[in-house]
Amino acid sequence: MAVSALDESVLVERDGPIAILTLNNPARRNAFALPVRQAFLVRLRELMVVEDPCRAIVVTGSGNCFCSGGDISEMKQRTPLEFRQRNQLVLDIYKLMVSGPKPVVAAVEGFAIGAGLSLAAASDYVVTADNARYSAGFVKVGLLPDTGLFWTLSQKVGAGRARELILLASDFDGRKAHEIGLANQLVGAGQTLPAALEVARRLIAMPPLAMAMMKAALADGCATLERAYETEINLQPILRRSADHKEAVKAFLEKRKPVFTGE
Amino acid sequence: MSDSLLDFAPVTRHGRVCVVTMSYPERRNAFSTPMRESLVARLEHLMFEDVECRAVVLTGAAGTFCAGGDLSEMKERPIVDGRQVFDLARAVVRLLATGPKPVVAAVEGHAFGAGLSLACATDYIVATPATKFCAAFLKVGLIPDTGIFWTLPKRVGASKARELMMLATEVGGEEALRIGLVNQLADQGAAVAAAVKVAEAMARQPREALAYLRVALGQGSETPDGALRAEVDYGAALRRDRLIQTSSFQG
């Protein structure tokens, strides 16, 4: 896919080892239209799994708006096969966010509706503006939640609350998002990006290999107690041989800050 | 096992409640290999052999719970040998989380790394406002272990669990209570007494039902089908026990 043509709809900026991924279609409140999804997936994949020096990703939207969900204007009739192909895009985005090796922090201002809510819920950490507006939206347009929301929302807010939010598609604000455990941090309007960058700075101080393995374990390795043990046994002995673990132990004994390399 | 190994986890009795105290004060009760061996031996005995014991309290000596893995014994092993090290830790978690008798943790001082994991594997946590919890694993280049991938999200939800594990944030007693990590706060120095009270209340519940409940919560209720199967299987077994005990129910 030619990235140059997509450059404007999703922006990538850098703050040292932190990449800021910005949905940039403010005229449509950053609707998750097809070209935006394509650009988002390309950018996300570059940052996550193609060799890239970034160590943490902040996802946000331009024009004080996160993402208003699917673009209704492009919801025309297609064959089920065409729809499956379109859905594969958001599935790939969700998978990369949840199980990719680098932590993702969402900075949510304005609307996080439908797929916008899904993107927030698929992030590892959510900073919300108190006046942000959330809704699962999907059922109101006759659709099911997508972009992984079935799994991520109930994980974050519990099954009872997730059912309520999905079945009624009710609106809720940033305060409520924080209260029910969807958002980790509540800040004033306009303050989410600096707060998210602050969290990202703490995340990049962590050892990259352990971070990557932890994300993999949380995504697909702890559904049952037995599975959690297996995950530990498969991953932890490898980490014990890592340079970062040795460096951390050495730094601890020498009472200094460790320097991690990812090896 | 020699007696000296058992010294890492001595047991005291308060009626039907047995208090297991992790005792390795020079390393703040670190979850070292001898500690794991002592805990397995003690817990296996209390859970399966000691008929007087009906509930367990897990705590730590010298005003602190457990500082986590023992960094001084983290030597380099071939990966394949490193796998075996986890068997003992797994046995401890399995006993705490799914053994037949309820377990209450009395947590003063620090519960860091595997110390936090041990507390999370119990049924009920009593802490004090001064207690400090931290999933410190990532800071030393490791992933969380000792069952915490499963137990922590169950307590505090996926969002908070991710935050605590990814940022290795320290959490005080008050906040631990607010986020649902801890069930109850006691005054400093009084956590064991409060935990024994809770354990006594649990010890008064029907023994068989408690045992099945713990297995169902620890192993059976991950999926709707699993939860129903646990209800049907264990419920039926319990009703049968009751019928045998209470002849007036028959016919």
Min Cα distance A81 → chain B (Å) is 30
pLDDT at A171 > cutoff 70: yes
Q: Considering CB atoms only, which of B93, B137, B159 is closest to A156?
A: B159
pLDDT at A69 > cutoff 50: yes
- Range among A223-232, B165-174, B224-233 with highest mean pLDDT value: B165-174
3-state secondary structure of A158: coil
Min Cα distance B100 → chain A (Å) is 16
For A50, which DSSP code?
Answer: S
pLDDT at A75 > cutoff 90: no
Residues B180 and B152: their CA atoms lie apart, in Å, by 10
Q: What is the dihedral of CA A72, A75, A76, A79, to 10 degrees?
A: -170
Residues of A in contact with B83 (CB under 8 A): 233-234, 237
Q: Encode pLDDT of B14-60 as tens digits.
A: 999 999 999 999 999 999 999 999 999 999 999 999 999 999 999 99
DSSP string, A166-186: HHH---EEHHHHHHTTS-SEE
Token pair belonging to A54: 């970034």
For position A2, what pLDDT does the model report? 42
Query: Of the ranges A82-91, A155-164, A195-204, B127-136, which one carries the lowest mean pLDDT score?
Result: A82-91
β-bridge mates for residue B103, sequence order:
B56
Q: Considering CB atoms only, which of A126, A213, A232 is closest to B86?
A: A232
Cβ <8 Å between B149 and A242 = no
Mean pLDDT, all residues of chain B: 90
Query: How much is the average pLDDT of B200-228?
Result: 88
> ipTM, 2 decimals?
0.87
Which class for A57: exposed (0-12), middle (13-18), buried (19 or more C-beta within 10 A)? buried
Q: Considering CB atoms only, which of B143, B153, B157 is closest to A210?
A: B143
Cβ <8 Å between A155 and B142 = no
Q: By the CB < 8 Å criterion, does B240 face chain A?
A: no
Residues 19-38 of B with CB under 8 A from A: none
Cβ <8 Å between B153 and A260 = no
Query: How much is the average pLDDT of B69-84?
Result: 80
Confidence category of residue A110, pLDDT binned at 50, 70, 90: very high
Min Cα distance A208 → chain B (Å) is 8
Q: What single-letter amino acid sits at A25?
A: N
For position B234, what pLDDT does the model report? 82
Token pair belonging to B60: 């730590």
Residues of A in contact with B74 (CB under 8 A): 240, 245, 249
Instruction: Specify whether the CB–CB gap between B173 and B129 falls below 8 A.
Output: yes
Query: How much is the average pLDDT of A121-130?
Result: 98
For position B1, what pLDDT does the model report? 45
For position A168, what pLDDT does the model report? 94
Confidence category of residue B11, pLDDT binned at 50, 70, 90: very high
Confidence category of residue A117, pLDDT binned at 50, 70, 90: very high
pTM of the model: 0.90
Q: By the CB < 8 Å criterion, does B180 face chain A?
A: no
Residues of A in contact with B82 (CB under 8 A): 236-238, 240-241
Cβ <8 Å between A240 and B77 = yes
Residues of A in contact with B166 (CB under 8 A): 103, 124-125, 203, 206, 211, 214
Q: What is the dihedral of CA A137, A139, A144, A150, to 10 degrees?
A: 60
Q: By the CB < 8 Å criterion, does B154 face chain A?
A: no
Q: Considering CB atoms only, which of A184, A213, A242 is closest to B159?
A: A184
**Nearest chain A alpha carbon to B159:** A156
Q: By the CB < 8 Å criterion, does B244 face chain A?
A: no
pLDDT at A3 > cutoff 50: no
Q: Encode pLDDT of B94-148 as tens digits.
A: 999 999 999 999 999 999 999 999 999 999 999 999 999 999 999 999 999 999 9
Which class for A117: exposed (0-12), middle (13-18), buried (19 or more C-beta within 10 A)? buried
The backbone region for B169, taken as left when phi is positive above 0, alpha when psi lies in -120 to 50, beta otherwise, is: beta
